[in-house]
Amino acid sequence: MAGANQTCIFCQILHDPNSTTRLLHTDEKVVAFQDIKPAARRHYLVIPKEHIPTVRDLQRRDEDYSLVSHMLSVGQELLQKDAPQTIHRFGFHQPPFNSVDHLHLHCFALPFMPRWKVVKYMSLGPFGGFIEAQKLLEKIRPLPSKV
């Protein structure tokens, strides 16, 4: 498992040929699958094939911005296809609130089920919590190069 963390459940899903997880999408950069404990009508995860522990490991560089943009695009396509008439929400947990140390985008077709699950996916401002995908993209957008 080159580039993988052998104790990471998501790396195991990616690299174990006997995994029973049904992939909804796969390409050269990411895979997507249903969350094992869905918190909404539709709840998918999009993960990079490369093991990146958390949003804190992302920087203001083209490759990180491109990866997160691609993850969001995949999530949007999946939900538009599977739940086109619902409100969609996309974001990441920030440490220490992430349950798996492998970057993963939560893709929701709302409403949350049960309703109290919304609490698990709220921003806690300077304390972290959940960060919307667009807000993360703003934070890691590469700065214009000075010529």
- Sorted by where each begins, the domain ranges of the chain are 25-140
Element (H, E) at 11: helix 9-15
Instruction: Determine the pLDDT at residue 96.
Output: 86
**What mean pLDDT value characterizes the chain?**
92
Instruction: Report, as an integer, the average pLDDT of 75-87.
Output: 96
Residue 73 confidence (pLDDT) above 80: yes
Instruction: Determine the pLDDT at residue 147.
Output: 63
| Closest CA relative to residue 123, chosen from 83, 77, 80, 91 | 91
Active site residue 25: no
Residue 2 confidence (pLDDT) above 50: no
What share of the chain in percent tops pLDDT 90? 75
pLDDT in tens, 93-137: 998 888 899 999 999 999 999 988 998 998 887 778 899 999 999
Distance CA(88)–CA(50), nearest Å, equals 26
Q: Which CATH class is domain 25-140?
A: alpha beta
pTM for the full predicted model? 0.93
